[in-house]
A and B are shown apart, each in its own frame.
Chain A
């Protein structure tokens, strides 16, 4: 049913278009790493020689390392909180039917469709009004909000393929609710949890606008990069840092994808 309709040979317009489109998609992503090895401060052709010095210089920048530390803390806390909230919510959506389920399911997806600037500005106003100064805490509160839809949808697909009779069997064999959850449910959806942790971490790690408004004098890595973009002399270092971040994001999310697939396969 999904095999292409058979037809006589003709020029593969669509295929050619698809390849062209892929080049368009990958151009900006591959450009940063390419020029991060360029022995020159201007990003233009022709390229000069090959160098690793832009990378080597990164380790000596204290503000950068501090921003990196901030981002790791924010990302880790966000990942754990968002995944925990998402785990319970997804379990409720898949397993139980209750009044207001659809409303709740729609509500947790809302953060995806509110323009970033509005989320950022309104949260800033709220937190200040509540007496919370901009800090890593406020960034975490905001990032959990943004990451929750990702956690919920990943956990929902993990629970979707989960065979309920396994839990019932555990109950019948005398296991408690908590014991069943810990010894039956959790191990089966574990790949989904790992995927959710990795994705929500990356969402937080790459997020800029909210952190820009809410981080105060504790910049995260994207906020630090933003402050560096203005200085042409810092450009090569920013390219090197950006390339490392790209690599980290892609590796993290490919790993997440691997676990997500495992979670839906193993349960079938």
Chain B
């Protein structure tokens, strides 16, 4: 065998190289060109390659940009909190209260094997003024006129995304619950913990890694979500991705679009790091 291959390490490197090169190049290349564009300017179709801070200045001073970045982070934070809070009891139920774990895990993942675009579209139909929810409540006599607070606002965006990300919260939390050594729980009970105390002081801290993983998986892509704010957000629910799309589409200002993408990414990074530090510290405190 020795003659066929120079070394184990060499073979491993060679086999994994195509995949890591592909991803590496398609991360570094676009990012590099995005950084370059963010220092250029555009007039109509002409790209002026004189280096300038103009785009960053515009991003920093334009109240709309600041507003949309803050709102995106706020909405993503609300989505993360809502999704994790709604998902935790389900993960707990599957880990501790049922013997049909595989069936339940399958049941919660099946809806997410369908197109994300179509699920968001469906929420638009459910929440609309003349939509499913209003017409159902009207014909049941629960309400006299259609509810207007359902669609085209932050609430609709948070609800739709809390639905879209459900399994991404349930699965990591389930895994961390499943890993808990059951004798720890028995020990807590034997030492006089009430059920609530046992949950807060033993179960919850042990699932902090799962909660952190779930939160990051949800928070990071949500900040840059385009489909949901476009379909159900209305003008109140627009997010930074909508403005970025406008720059690359109708407004045709790629340098500003590139700058906004980078600003959004930096904002996501900072918030994510702060969150991990905070959550880890909290997880230690309650123990």
Asked if A and B bind, the verdict is yes
- What residues make up the interface of A, taking CB atoms closer than 8 Å to B? 1-5, 14-15, 17-18, 21-22, 24-29, 31-32, 35, 42-46, 85-86, 88-89, 91-93, 95-101, 103-104, 107-108, 110-119, 121-126, 129, 141-142, 144-145, 148, 152, 171, 177, 202, 205-206, 208-209, 213, 222, 225-226, 229, 238, 242, 245-246, 249-250, 252-254, 257
Interface of B (DSSP majority class): helix
B107-123 to A contact mask, C-beta < 8 Å, 1/0: 11011011111110111
B163 within 8 A of A: yes
B27 within 8 A of A: yes
Name the CB-closest residue of A to B139: A45
B99 — which chain A residues lie within 8 A by C-beta? 2-4
Q: Is the CB of B23 within 8 A of A98?
A: no
- What residues make up the interface of B, taking CB atoms closer than 8 Å to A? 1, 4-5, 8-16, 18-20, 22-24, 26-27, 29-31, 33-34, 37, 86, 89-90, 92-94, 96-99, 101, 104, 106-108, 110-111, 113-119, 121-123, 125-126, 128, 130-132, 134-136, 139, 163, 166, 178, 182, 185, 216-217, 220-227, 231, 241, 244-245, 248, 254, 257-258, 261, 264-265, 268
Interface of A (DSSP majority class): helix
Q: Is the CB of A208 within 8 A of B131?
A: no
B241 — which chain A residues lie within 8 A by C-beta? 115-117
29 contacts between A and B (CB under 8 A): A1-B182, A14-B92, A17-B89, A25-B163, A28-B126, A32-B118, A86-B19, A89-B16, A98-B13, A108-B20, A114-B220, A115-B221, A117-B224, A117-B226, A117-B241, A117-B244, A118-B264, A121-B257, A122-B34, A125-B37, A125-B258, A129-B33, A148-B19, A152-B19, A202-B113, A206-B116, A229-B121, A242-B115, A246-B114
Q: How far is the CA of A3 from the CA of B95 in the complex (A)?
A: 9
Contact of A250 among B104, B110, B121 (CB under 8 A): B110
Contact of A31 among B5, B11, B89, B122 (CB under 8 A): B122
Q: Is the CB of B111 within 8 A of A26?
A: yes
B114 — which chain A residues lie within 8 A by C-beta? 29, 206, 245-246, 249-250
A85 — which chain B residues lie within 8 A by C-beta? 18-19, 22
Contact of B122 among A1, A32, A46, A107 (CB under 8 A): A32
Q: Is the CB of B89 within 8 A of A104?
A: no
Q: Give chain A nearest CB distance to B42 CB in angstroms.
A: 12
B27 — which chain A residues lie within 8 A by C-beta? 107, 110, 114
Of B113, B134, B221, B264, which is in contact with the most chain A CB atoms at under 10 Å from its CB? B113
Name the CB-closest residue of B to A122: B30
Q: Is the CB of B22 within 8 A of A92?
A: no
Q: Give chain A nearest CB distance to B241 CB in angstroms.
A: 4
Q: Is the CB of A92 within 8 A of B13?
A: yes
B119 — which chain A residues lie within 8 A by C-beta? 28-29
Contact status of A122 and B121, CB under 8 A, knowing A4-B98, A85-B18, A92-B13:
no
Contact of A116 among B1, B22, B90, B226 (CB under 8 A): B226
B107 — which chain A residues lie within 8 A by C-beta? 22
Of B31, B34, B117, B231, which is in contact with the most chain A CB atoms at under 10 Å from its CB? B117
Q: Give chain A nearest CB distance to B226 CB in angstroms.
A: 5
